[in-house]
Structure 1
Amino acid sequence: MSPAAFSLRQQLAFYGAYHSNPTNVWIHITCVPLIVWSAYVLGSHLPRPEALPSIHADFGPYLAFDLNYAAIWAIATELYYFILTPVVTLAHIPIAAFTLLTATAYASQPGSLWTAATVHVLCWLAQFYGHGVHEGRAPALLDNLLGALVLAPLFVHYEALFMLGFLKQTKKDLQNDVGKLNTELRLKKKEVKKE
């Protein structure tokens, strides 16, 4: 893994460079949480790895925990976020936990696999629409699949914090970094056209 993978500023700037259009940002703010939730539902349908202990807990009819692939992904992602940005991650953990617990509980319902798959596909299509029509640029996942998939929820969390008026200096720094990256991209496109 490159050192840039552990630089919050570089990671947010990379992702932000692909999400400058306000309509596209709103599409992502809506769709990314639904994609994560539906992915957790889908991941909860996978057979539990035999190497893992069987841990299950119900917290009422709408919240449940299973140590499964979805839980492993959620925990690993939050640990990565914590390395990048401890304080912001502490604010994100309750959201991530709620998403995982509701998805795990929903996964036990009849028809949950098809519902989650439908939500997942529709949200991905909406994001491609946002990039193609509003952003005018291919999604970040075409340049860095893992980075885009892992960073999307954190980026959306930051966008929500910015909209609520938090982290003003971080927002300003990020906008400057995104501006520089977009300028570099435009210059590269001009060079390619000249050749």
Structure 2
Amino acid sequence: MPISQLFDVNSQLAFYGAYHSNKINVLVHMIFVPLILWTSQVLLSQFPVPSVVPALHYEINDYLAFDLNIPAILAGLYIVYYFILEPVAALFYTPQMILSLLTATAYSKGSGNVSNAGILHALSWIAQFLGHGLAEKRAPALVDNLLGAVVLAPFFVHLEILFGLGYRPEMHKRINNEIGKEIARIRKAQGDEKRAAAKSS
């Protein structure tokens, strides 16, 4: 994918949406993508940060805490990227990301909680793959673009909810049109591969 398309919301959402056109699979993602993000933040909180990163910690209460750690840095980068893609939607998403980060950080401090998060993380991924295999009937986006799929997933789910609430209908229609074109392109490529394989066998 060209670098210019990495910052084009239509291209990015068309790519991701082409792998998530089934309503059941989209619902599965709405449930489990936030869980994957949250459990990832719990798990990554155990990794040390480079020495150049200042040690910052602020505990709001037993359920909300902030550390300047790997999850916090990644959350900041995610939000910056989302603002580049679609500023208003990113603004709406920012409180959700902050809440996810603060609760994950606080939860990671409890005894045995990291192990629990690891189990939930694995189960959430299994649910995602089942959604693709049983409902979407195709491989997930991460097979073709791991980084793009992992980074885009939370924002895609967020936008799907916003679109359902009537957010920017013209944008929703435009992206759906692009998704249709992308699905047609992928199916054509798959058909060409099958025909080529049949000829060579």
CA distance in 2, matches of 1:118, 1:167: 37
Deviations 1:107-138 (A, max 9, x none): 10111111110111000000000001100110
Match of 2:170 in 1: 169
More divergent stretch after superposition (42-51 vs 155-164) = 42-51
CA distance in 1, matches of 2:164, 2:111: 37
Q: What is the RMSD computed on CA atoms of the aligned residues? A: 1.0
Q: How does 1:95-110 map to 2 (within 5 A)?
A: 95-110=96-111
CA distance in 1, matches of 2:136, 2:183: 12
Amino acid paired to 1:66: D
Q: Determine whether 1:129 maps to 2:147.
A: no
Q: How does 1:70-149 map to 2 (within 5 A)?
A: 70-149=71-150
Q: How does 1:23-62 map to 2 (within 5 A)?
A: 23-62=24-63
Amino acid paired to 2:9: L
Q: Determine whether 1:180 maps to 2:184.
A: no
Q: Determine whether 1:194 maps to 2:195.
A: yes
Report the TM-score when normalising by structure 1. Answer: 0.97
Shift of 1:193: 2.1
Report the TM-score when normalising by structure 2. Answer: 0.94
Contact 1:49 1:68 in 2 (8 A): no
Shift of 1:170: 1.4
Change (3 A) 1:134 1:50: same
- Residue ranges of structure 2 left out of the alignment (5+ in a row): 197-201
Shift of 1:51: 1.5
SS of 2:110 mapped into structure 1: coil
CA distance in 1, matches of 2:34, 2:111: 22
Match of 2:199 in 1: none
CA distance in 1, matches of 2:45, 2:192: 47
CA distance in 1, matches of 2:194, 2:142: 24
Contact 1:34 1:123 in 2 (8 A): yes
Contact 1:131 1:137 in 2 (8 A): yes
Amino acid paired to 2:4: P
CA distance in 2, matches of 1:87, 1:119: 31
- Residue ranges of structure 1 left out of the alignment (5+ in a row): none
CA distance in 1, matches of 2:83, 2:111: 35
Shift of 1:47: 2.0
CA distance in 1, matches of 2:54, 2:195: 59
Amino acid paired to 2:68: L
SS of 2:58 mapped into structure 1: strand
How many residues align structurally?
195
Shift of 1:48: 3.0
Match of 2:156 in 1: 155
SS of 1:57 mapped into structure 2: strand
SS of 2:116 mapped into structure 1: helix
- Which consecutive aligned stretches of 4+ in structure 1 deviate over 6 angstroms post-superposition? none
Deviations 1:44-66 (A, max 9, x none): 11123221111000111110000
Shift of 1:183: 0.9
Amino acid paired to 2:48: P
CA distance in 1, matches of 2:68, 2:133: 38
